[in-house]
Amino acid sequence: MAAKRVYQVWKGSNKFICGGRLVFGPDARSLFVTLLLIIVPLIIFCVCVARHLRHEFSPYNSGYAILAVAILFTIHVLAVLFLTSSGDPGIVPRNSHPPEEEFRYDSSVSADVGGAGRQTPTLQFSRTKEVVVNGIAVRVKYCETCMLYRPPRCSHCSICNNCVERFDHHCPWVGQCIGLRNYRYFFMFVSSATILCIYVFSLSALYIKVLMDNYDGTVWKAMKESPASVILMAYCFISLWFVGGLTGFHLYLIGTNQTTYENFRYRADSRINVFNRGCLNNFLEMFCTKVKPSRNNFRAFAREEVPRPLAPIIARPRDPDDGLGGDRRPKVEDDLDIGEDLLKISQRRNIEELDEEIRDRGSNGAPHHTSEPDSILSSDHRAPTIRSDARHSSWDRSGNWEIAQEVLANSNVTESRNYSKEMRQ
């Protein structure tokens, strides 16, 4: 069987293409809607507006720059959109087991099926712990899904089912989480889309002005002459309220070194922002530092998980009233039934053999007489001893219910005495 790669056994909700080279969120289909909202208005602009402005500026062919800038800038917007949505946003690899160094063992008493109590170790560890950031203690939480203590500013995305470093938010328009490694590209995408909207809106309004000058008409006549310009202006105006407002909000977040998640969650909290290094340093940290490499190699071969050894069981003290000892397993009803069945079978066979032997003795000589009290005391005394010995010795030796030879011998003597009593009666 061929070994699988990491992206093939990934436990998150991400979608991988190109053999794990590109990683998207589970809602990556919404990316096609975003592409249509960018490409379709651009095509309308190039065909209905920029093409007619080619010869409206001096020198004669300088208007081609309007068309070239629109195309190149749109390519730039699509490129940063691709970088935002197709890369690792800063996923923290999940653990296959909880962190052992944080365990502490505690003994508790639990009741078994038979009613007896026994001590078992319980693994316990704190759900939060403190780490020091810039000389200030910051509390981090334990993620039960990823089985790790989240780094500072890390949060678990319920949509992607991953812990993401410097988690900002999950953006449905790009189909990906926004985190440590793609926040810069996300801001470039939003700000570039804002500039593109302003560019298209301005040139569409300019074309309306050119139509008014050329035809000596009013605004209404110019708008009737180029309805596409009116549609583009309305579309860009509405889009500016979204992407423009988003750009201004993220400029504020960068200047104060916050994330969207922190701003909404701790807005009413008066705690000090330990990550704020000043407005200038915050911008330098965001745009002039190297993007950290991914913690995940999705194309690497997945390693087989080694089963974790069981925790040591704390044995309970031996109970003097327990005749079977303190190290017995608490749940062996099925095995006891099997042992009793085997004992009954062996006893039936011994009775048949004794029957033949007594018949032979009856024909050759007097049978052996045994006093009735001794027979009754012997049968009443030996039977429970046989069962107890059979259970105890057979389980401790091999773990299976096998009838020992001395047990069979004891059973033969008991059955012989009982059978002789019945023959005399």
Paired tokens of 370: 């045994």
Mean pLDDT for the stretch of residues 294-323: 61
pLDDT of 165 above 70:
yes
Q: In b/e form, how buried is each residue of 7-31, taking b as 16+ CB within 10 angstroms? A: beebebebbbeeebebbbbebbebb
Q: Are 74 and 127 in contact (CB under 8 A)?
A: no
Exposed / middle / buried, residue 61 (Cβ in 10 Å: 0-12, 13-18, 19+) = exposed
Report pLDDT for 155.
Answer: 93
* Residues 412, 351: Cα–Cα separation, whole Å: 8
| pLDDT band per the 50, 70, 90 thresholds, residue 86 | very high
For the chain, the average pLDDT equals 75
Mean pLDDT for the stretch of residues 224-246: 93
CB neighbours of residue 296 within 10 Å: 19
Is 402 or 158 the better-scoring residue by pLDDT?
A: 158
Mean pLDDT for the stretch of residues 187-195: 96
Q: Catalytic site residue 154?
A: no
pLDDT of 384 above 90:
no
Mean pLDDT for the stretch of residues 220-227: 87
Q: In b/e form, how buried is each residue of 78-116, taking b as 16+ CB within 10 angstroms? A: bebbbbbbbbbbbbbebeeeeeeeeeeeeeeeeeeeeee
Tokens 């800063």 belong to residue: 90
Q: Are 158 and 267 in contact (CB under 8 A)?
A: no
Q: Are 115 and 125 in contact (CB under 8 A)?
A: no
Mean pLDDT for the stretch of residues 306-312: 52
Cis status, amide bond into 59, omega within 30 of 0: yes
- Segments making up each domain of the chain, as ranges: 6-95+161-288
Paired tokens of 102: 């944080």
Mean pLDDT for the stretch of residues 196-210: 93
Report the percent of the chain where pLDDT is more than 90: 41
Name 77's Cβ contacts closer than 8 Å, sequence gap at least 6.
38, 189, 192, 193, 196
Report pLDDT for 281.
Answer: 93
pLDDT of 417 above 80:
no
In degrees, rounded to 5, the angle at the alpha carbon of residue 88 between the alpha carbons of residues 87 and 90 is 145
Among 10-14, 56-60, 142-146, 281-285, whose mean pLDDT is lowest? 56-60
pLDDT of 160 above 60:
yes
Mean pLDDT for the stretch of residues 94-123: 59
* Residues 366, 423: Cα–Cα separation, whole Å: 12
| pLDDT band per the 50, 70, 90 thresholds, residue 87 | very high
Is 10 or 306 the better-scoring residue by pLDDT?
A: 10
Tokens 């975003």 belong to residue: 34
Report the percent of the chain where pLDDT is more than 70: 64
Report pLDDT for 1.
Answer: 54
Please give the full DSSP string across 319-354, using - where no structure is assigned.
PTT-TT-TTS-S--HHHHHHHHHHHHHHHHHHHHHH
pTM confidence score: 0.67
Report pLDDT for 4.
Answer: 86
Give the residues across from 17 on adjacent strands. 22
Given the residues 154, 160, 163, 171, the one annotated as active site: 171
| pLDDT band per the 50, 70, 90 thresholds, residue 124 | low
Tokens 């988690």 belong to residue: 167
| pLDDT band per the 50, 70, 90 thresholds, residue 407 | very low
Give the residues across from 117 on adjacent strands. 111
pLDDT tens by residue, 31-58: 999 999 999 999 999 999 998 888 777 7
Is 281 or 137 the better-scoring residue by pLDDT?
A: 281
pLDDT of 366 above 50:
no
Q: What are phi and psi of 366, to 5 degrees?
A: -75, 145
CB neighbours of residue 395 within 10 Å: 20
Q: Are 94 and 114 in contact (CB under 8 A)?
A: no
Is 259 or 421 the better-scoring residue by pLDDT?
A: 259
Report pLDDT for 391.
Answer: 38
In degrees, rounded to 5, the angle at the alpha carbon of residue 92 between the alpha carbons of residues 273 and 172 is 80
